[in-house]
Chains A and B, each alone.
Chain A
Amino acid sequence: MKIFAIEHLTMNFGGLLALNNFSLELKEGDLVGLIGPNGAGKTTVFNVVTGNLTPTRGRIIFKEEEITGYKANEISRRGIARTFQNIRLFQDLQVVENVMTSYHGGLKSSFIGAVLGTPLYNREEKEMYEGSMDLLRQVRLDGLAQERAGTLAYGQQRRLEIARALATHPKLLLLDEPAAGMNAQETHELMDLILKVKEKFQLTVLLIEHDMRLVMGICQRIYVLDYGALIAEGTPYEIQNNPKVIAAYLGEEDIA
């Protein structure tokens, strides 16, 4: 069942054409990869989808609703969550607090309730805490719950970002280079983690990656971008053998 679509997305930055008529479709439960050389426009796609950029042309449809041009927090509340290419954690907050912020959108108490400490608020706070600890257990960070997020190791920070994104109860999860900077072992664990949370939380996943192990390893389908335009789409096997893709990554060589 179709859950998400990008239609004819064009992004023009005052002369620089970052995205050129890009389209993409996701069915519920898909795990799709978005790859391409550096500067191809992949993160731009994410930024448009999550409301950080307004596209020059094109539409984003999520759960049959057009969300083009909506603000970031509105899109988040509709069920799209993301992680960031260069980790954007709340450095000075504790690990568990980072995750708890995602629950804030669903808070029913008012700030007066929070200040006075009403039973409703206390209950909600407890639920947020426990929900967050649960997620931290999923990503194996529960032992570091009270640490400042900024003190975590790189791989741990990436996992925290994922937990934080999951706390918004998304249906669509966008992962921006989740394996960046990871070694083989960590990447392997990450692949397991992505599959696990996808299964557990019934997610659709779209991920940007450069690490081909991960992309080819877990993605069902792959879209390839180059200079803002789609140059190939297909299964990992098809993409691996697509001459246009090879040319894009390695340059126009004689691949006779």
Chain B
Amino acid sequence: MSKDDHFLVYRTRDRILTVMSLVVLFVFIYWAETNATEYQIRLLNNCAIFIILAVSYNLINGICGQFSLEPNAFIAIGAYTSALLTMGPHEKQISYIIEPLVWPLSIISIPFWLSLVIAGLVTACFAFLMGFAVFRVRGDYLAIVTLGFGEVVRVVANNLQSVTNGPLGLKGLTPYTNLWWSFGFMVITLFFIWRLTKSSFGRAMKAIREDEVAAEAMGVSSFRYKMMAFTISGFFEGVAGGLLAHLITTISPVLFTFFFTFNLLIIIVIGGLGSTTGAVIASIIFIYSSEALRVVDESFSIGSLQIAGIPGMRMVVFAILLIIVMIFAREGIMGRREFSWNGLINLPKSVIGRKNNILFGPARKREKKPTK
């Protein structure tokens, strides 16, 4: 077979495998929706939402290399937008006891999926506008500016009574979010970001990450692609915000602090900054280990020994973990590598130590002499 044929065979195989996995996921969700406990469903929903968040956050931080601390701001904007759009006029009236909600928000009530899309678009608009200020600077400054924006969003949410209901927040949201919605959007997000990263646009973003000056010299407008990464991140983080709002059914400014961003930061760092696959893996690990570590916060017993829990210890553990990873294992789990069916299939072989090629199947024959 020629090299092209090789390529086609593997691509077809990969496609079939991917479709099969989606089918398996579909069946799993169907089963879970009817058979799993509420606790398990909540964890699964959290997983899906965090995967959306981590993968989008990784786009601006890891792929494009622009160290931003924006998620809590965007999640908040998405959550509020979506909530305000789905709440019925009557619910709004009873919620807004200090100041009535402005028109036309007071009368709007639209379907859930539409509210998510609009939440995403609104957040993307914010991201776009923010970008003009944010991308004037780099490195530490970019981080602080985005952090500052997060604070501004929180302060505004706390004060704009007539829109956000201030510190009281919004309660009694309809719990629209179920596994279908959360995993559905998760699949869409993964597809979008995966394809984008592998495309020419993803390459441009990575080039900016690797060496912005060189990228510019090769004709890549760094501003444009930073904006692109930022706005797309904003869109999906907004959608996730809407999903989150309708999962926990109560939102208020105190939910969207830097804490949230920090958790996402831990996730993408441990997963491997720049790896979408890593972000997915780390999200799952994070959600389940958060649960497991809950024991550290509360008391638990080993046999007859009662060990008192210390509230808040969980976060200490996470913080220490982050610092240790930074000092000793900066690459995280995946480094910058991505998932590939080939990689997965060859995993046993590579674990045993045989040389394998990630892209094209069997080991390429390396040319000994340079060709003319």
- Bound pair: A and B? yes
**A140 B372 Cβ-Cβ under 8 A:** yes
How many B residues have CB within 8 A of the partner chain?
A: 33
- Residues from 320 to 372 in B contacting A, C-beta threshold 8 Å: 336, 359, 364, 366-367, 370-372
Q: Which listed residue, B200, B210, B359, B371, touches A137 by the CB 8 Å rule?
A: B371
Q: Which listed residue, A50, A93, A111, A168, touches B207 by the CB 8 Å rule?
A: A93
Closest CB in chain B relative to A174 CB, distance in Å: 10
What chain A residues lie within 8 Å of B367 (beta carbons)?
Answer: 143
A92 to B208, CA, bound (A): 11
**A102 B214 Cβ-Cβ under 8 A:** no
A125 to B199, CA, bound (A): 8
- Residues from 110 to 127 in A contacting B, C-beta threshold 8 Å: 111, 114-117, 121, 124-125
Chain A 5-40 interface mask (CB, 8 Å, partner B; 1/0): 000000000000000000000000000000000000
**B201 A111 Cβ-Cβ under 8 A:** yes
Task: Known contacts A115-B195, A140-B371; decide if A72 and B200 are in contact (CB<8 Å).
Answer: no
- By beta carbon, the residue of chain A nearest B206 is A93
Task: Known contacts A82-B217, A102-B219, A142-B371; decide if A88 and B211 are in contact (CB<8 Å).
Answer: yes
Main secondary structure of the interface of B (DSSP, over half): helix
What chain B residues lie within 8 Å of A71 (beta carbons)?
Answer: 216, 221
What chain A residues lie within 8 Å of B191 (beta carbons)?
Answer: 115
What chain B residues lie within 8 Å of A114 (beta carbons)?
Answer: 195-196, 199-201
**B217 A81 Cβ-Cβ under 8 A:** yes
**B370 A100 Cβ-Cβ under 8 A:** no
A156 to B324, CA, bound (A): 36
What chain A residues lie within 8 Å of B196 (beta carbons)?
Answer: 111, 114-115
Among A89, A103, A104, A143, find the residue whose CB has the most chain B CB atoms closer than 10 A.
A104
What chain B residues lie within 8 Å of A164 (beta carbons)?
Answer: 218
- By beta carbon, the residue of chain B nearest A76 is B219
Q: Which listed residue, A81, A100, A140, touches B200 by the CB 8 Å rule?
A: A100
Closest CB in chain B relative to A141 CB, distance in Å: 8
What chain A residues lie within 8 Å of B359 (beta carbons)?
Answer: 146
A165 to B214, CA, bound (A): 10
**A100 B216 Cβ-Cβ under 8 A:** no
* A105 CB-CB contact with B under 8 Å: yes
**A102 B218 Cβ-Cβ under 8 A:** yes
**B371 A143 Cβ-Cβ under 8 A:** yes
Interface Cβ pair total, 8 Å cutoff: 110
What chain A residues lie within 8 Å of B228 (beta carbons)?
Answer: 111
- By beta carbon, the residue of chain B nearest A50 is B217
Q: Which listed residue, A84, A104, A117, A125, touches B219 by the CB 8 Å rule?
A: A104
**A105 B219 Cβ-Cβ under 8 A:** yes
Among B196, B199, B367, find the residue whose CB has the most chain A CB atoms closer than 10 A.
B199
**A104 B203 Cβ-Cβ under 8 A:** yes
Q: Which listed residue, B192, B200, B366, B370, touches A104 by the CB 8 Å rule?
A: B200
**A97 B203 Cβ-Cβ under 8 A:** yes
**B203 A73 Cβ-Cβ under 8 A:** no
What chain A residues lie within 8 Å of B199 (beta carbons)?
Answer: 111, 114-115, 121, 125
28 pairs, A vs B, C-beta closer than 8 Å: A51-B216, A72-B213, A72-B216, A73-B216, A73-B221, A73-B222, A84-B214, A88-B213, A90-B211, A93-B207, A97-B206, A101-B204, A101-B207, A102-B218, A102-B219, A103-B200, A104-B200, A104-B218, A104-B220, A107-B200, A111-B201, A111-B228, A114-B201, A115-B199, A125-B199, A142-B371, A164-B218, A167-B218
